[in-house]
């Protein structure tokens, strides 16, 4: 397949902005109207008065090694939310193109489509919350540019079948965006290694979840180098700031500590399931490969407001298709989970 054919014509022709720090990073830098006298605050020896590396070379290299993919297949954004937005900018012609979103899923895909005036075809997940491949293929046409597969899926918590995703890659001419924000909590492995085999596969990852770094806004994607080139072409020149990039690099040096935290979250998830199963309000707890649980209760509104009154904030997902009376609960610390369980028990039937 030719990825160029999926790109918006104006983006193919676009002459991108050439930023100062792309050309020179050393010498007497009088080219970017920075403040040569320095900055009033300091962080980790960084020259905060200077614009950051536009392509985050060091961090990109480190992420590529970690995921075991070539560096030119990695793009870094200010969170994966920025990457979702950039994908729309590159590939979707407003009011012409469309995307397919298997739902219920992460709401940002639909909002991003709305922002870019791109129409959405929704395909309902089946009763096991797996992709309905035949229906998704049926929903596509020659103007379908992207299909969003969130795996593990937010809010249902399950991993989608690999074979189904590969089938979508071959059966459609669209980009298959696999959002793996929660993959580290799953028993299954990432699809990042398959982007070479499937040039229309884009795998999104983030440091916001398993790395515990939601505050620094670092997301990344792995995709065919042509897709990466186009993302670089449309992004803001300095989309990732130097403080975040530096903190991310530091964190990536501590994989053992993070493995331990992932293990603890998995154990807490198991404990939470065991304890919630016997709470009278709880009808069903869906199996989870993520750091949250989707729980069907007798009365979602009642549960939500009682917990809010107790200062515990969960997410009511009961307005989503197939999720009647479902709430999504993030796995907290052991102490937080104990408080939650106690409050849930107090609600009664
Ligand atoms: C499925 C999914 N993708 C992406 C994100 C956002 O990731 P980031 O913080 O990297 O923008 C979230 C956040 O909740 C999410 O649930």
Nearest Cα to Cα of residue 83 among 236, 295, 269, 283:
236
Confidence of residue 229 (pLDDT cuts 50, 70, 90): very high
pTM exceeds 0.75, yes or no: yes
Determine the pLDDT at residue 22.
Answer: 85
CATH number at 3-253: 3.40.640.10
Can you give the C-alpha Rg of the chain in angstroms? 22
**Mean pLDDT, all residues of the chain:** 97
Confidence of residue 21 (pLDDT cuts 50, 70, 90): confident
Q: How far is the CA of 183 from the centre of ligand 1 (A)?
A: 12
Q: Which of 181, 182, 220, 331 to mutate to test the pocket of ligand 1 (most atoms within 8 A of CB)?
A: 181
CB 334 within 8 A of CB 268: yes
Residue nearest to atom 3 of ligand 1 (CA): 181
CB 167 within 8 A of CB 198: no
Question: What residue ranges do the domains of the chain occupy?
Answer: 3-253, 256-347
> Which fold is adopted by the domain 256-347?
3.90.1150
Residue 189: DSSP 8-state = P
Judge if the upstream peptide bond of residue 67 is cis by omega within 30 degrees of 0. Answer: no
Task: Could you list the beta-strand ranges (E) of 193-250.
Answer: 201-206, 219-222
Q: How far is the CA of 243 from the centre of ligand 1 (A)?
A: 20
Q: At what angle do helices 242-252 and 57-67 cross, to 10 degrees?
A: 30
- Residue 336 pLDDT greater than 90, yes or no: yes
Confidence of residue 217 (pLDDT cuts 50, 70, 90): very high
Q: How far is the CA of 338 from the centre of ligand 1 (A)?
A: 26
Summarize pLDDT for 27-84 with one digit per residue, the tens.
Answer: 999 999 999 999 999 999 999 999 999 999 999 999 999 999 999 999 999 999 999 9
The set of protein residues with a Cβ atom below 6 angstroms from ligand 1 is 79-81, 106, 150, 154, 179, 181, 206, 208, 214, 219
Determine the pLDDT at residue 206.
Answer: 98
Q: How far is the CA of 77 from the centre of ligand 1 (A)?
A: 12
């Amino acid at each position: 397949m030719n990825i160029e054919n999926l790109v918006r014509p104006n983006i193919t022709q676009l002459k991108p902005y050439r930023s100062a720090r792309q050309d020179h990073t050393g010498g007497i830098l009088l080219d970017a109207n920075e403040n040569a006298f320095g900055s009033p605050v300091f962080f980790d020896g960084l020259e905060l008065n200077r614009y950051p590396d536009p392509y985050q070379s060091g961090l990109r290299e480190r992420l590529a090694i970690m995921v075991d993919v070539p560096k030119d297949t990695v793009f870094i954004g200010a969170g994966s939310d920025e990457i979702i937005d950039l994908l729309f900018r590159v590939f979707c012609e407003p009011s012409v193109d469309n995307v397919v979103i298997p739902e219920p899923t992460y709401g940002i895909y639909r909002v991003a489509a709305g922002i870019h005036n791109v129409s959405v075809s929704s395909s309902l997940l089946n009763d096991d919350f797996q992709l309905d491949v035949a229906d998704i293929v049926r929903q596509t046409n020659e103007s379908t540019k992207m299909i969003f597969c969130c795996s593990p899926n937010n809010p249902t918590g399950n991993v989608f079948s690999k074979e189904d995703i590969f089938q979508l890659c071959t059966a459609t001419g669209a980009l298959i965006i696999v959002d793996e924000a929660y993959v580290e909590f799953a028993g299954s492995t990432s699809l990042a290694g398959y982007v070479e085999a499937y040039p229309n596969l884009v795998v999104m990852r983030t440091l916001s979840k398993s790395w515990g770094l939601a505050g620094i806004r670092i997301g990344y994607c792995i995709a065919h180098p042509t897709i990466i080139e186009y993302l670089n072409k449309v992004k803001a020149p300095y989309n990732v700031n130097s403080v975040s990039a530096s903190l991310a690099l530091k964190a990536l040096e501590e994989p053992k500590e993070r493995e331990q935290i992932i293990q603890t979250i998995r154990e807490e998830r198991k404990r939470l399931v065991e304890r919630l199963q016997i709470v009278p309000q709880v009808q069903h707890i869906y199996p989870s490969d993520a750091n949250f649980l989707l729980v069907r209760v007798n009365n979602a509104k009642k549960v939500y407001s009682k917990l809010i009154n107790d200062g515990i904030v969960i997410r009511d997902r009961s307005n989503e298709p197939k999720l009647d009376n479902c709430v999504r609960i993030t796995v907290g610390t052991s102490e937080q989970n104990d408080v939650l369980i106690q409050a849930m028990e107090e609600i009664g039937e």
